[in-house]
Amino acid sequence: MGLETFGDLKHKMNNVLGVVIPQGINGDQARKLMLEDFGIEIGTSFGPLHGKVWRIGTMGYNARKDCVMTTLQRAGVGA
């Protein structure tokens, strides 16, 4: 899918990453499919960024390397 990070990585948080929703992708539909098919929940953004940026969290259980790698694989990163 070729996801692009959102914002300046100098100011990134350790527990959430903003990624630009690729052009031509229905962000809400993709989030729904990730949850229904793989049990992976991806957050949306609010205000002017709604529909443009996803928030992918890496907190608690989801901070484990296998969870992060599964999320990236299912999202098509590196495919």
Say what the pLDDT of residue 3 is: 80
Residue 48 makes CB contacts below 8 A (sequence gap 6+) with none
Give pTM, 2 decimals.
0.74
What are the 10-residue block averages of pLDDT along the chain, 79 residues in total?
A: 81 86 91 87 92 88 83 70
- Which domains does the chain carry? 4-74 (3.90.1150.10)
pLDDT given at position 63: 81
Question: Cβ distance 43 to 57 under 8 Å?
Answer: yes
pLDDT at 78: 54
